Amino acid sequence: MERQATTTTQALLKAALGRWRESLLVLACLASATYPDASHAAESEASEAAIQAAYLFNFARFTEWPANAFVAKTAPLNACLLGRREALANAMISLNDRPVQGHPLRFFQPERTEELKLCHLVFIAEADGRRRTQYLQMLASQPTLTVSDIEGFAQEGGMIRIMRVGTRLRFEINRAQTQKNGLKLAADLLNLATTIVEPDSGASR
């Protein structure tokens, strides 16, 4: 079962590494991808983590950061994980050094809160609501794309929430928060979102 889960993970991640002009098709395919049910726990966890990692990789492809977010034109694009999520960490590690808009992707897990300022993209897996709120407050003034799969994340001030719809993973976007933090999401990415969340007036579309 473990070998089958590993094979599934590798196949899904391979699909995420197409050329930029193919990324939109990749995202559309990911939205239709299914993964095993909970009765096959190891395979299900690895498959879901692989799809999430593929989403994160492609979210980065469709996000424009302000120029001052990088110390140099070829500086790494740092993808971070807050909270314990071993399967996702392993999937992200396998994407290290892949190019994203001219930047090599680098994954790490911050050990100190001051390291958050180095992150361009953060997946927040922290289950504790108070700590999650603290993280969002710390990131509120910097151009960091925040992503999670926790219910209500986009309404809390997070930017993108990956969510399960039946046997598929979809995502919703808090567009106002991305704009507030100086990030620009491509129109194609916005069009693929299941929902565009407007916290002040409810969800639209």
Predicted TM-score of the model (pTM):
0.82
- Neighbouring residues of 197: CB distance < 8 A, sequence distance ≥ 6: 154, 155, 172, 173, 174, 175, 203, 204
**pLDDT, tens digit, 9 for 90 and up, residues 91-101:** 999 999 999 99
Rounded CA gap, 150 and 2, in Å? 26
Domain definitions of the chain by residue range: 2-204
Tell me what the pLDDT averaged over the chain comes to.
Answer: 82
Class of the CATH-defined domain 2-204:
alpha beta
How distant, in Å, are the alpha carbons of 74, 156, 160 from that of 18?
20, 33, 22
* Location of structure tokens 């969510």: 163
pLDDT given at position 19: 46
Can you count the helices (H) and strands (E) in the chain? 8, 11
- Structure tokens given for 57: 């990789």
Beta-bridged to residue 82, according to DSSP, are 124
How distant, in Å, are the alpha carbons of 27, 99, 130, 168, 184 from that of 104?
20, 4, 33, 29, 20
**pLDDT, tens digit, 9 for 90 and up, residues 17-60:** 554 444 555 555 555 555 445 445 555 677 788 888 989 999 99
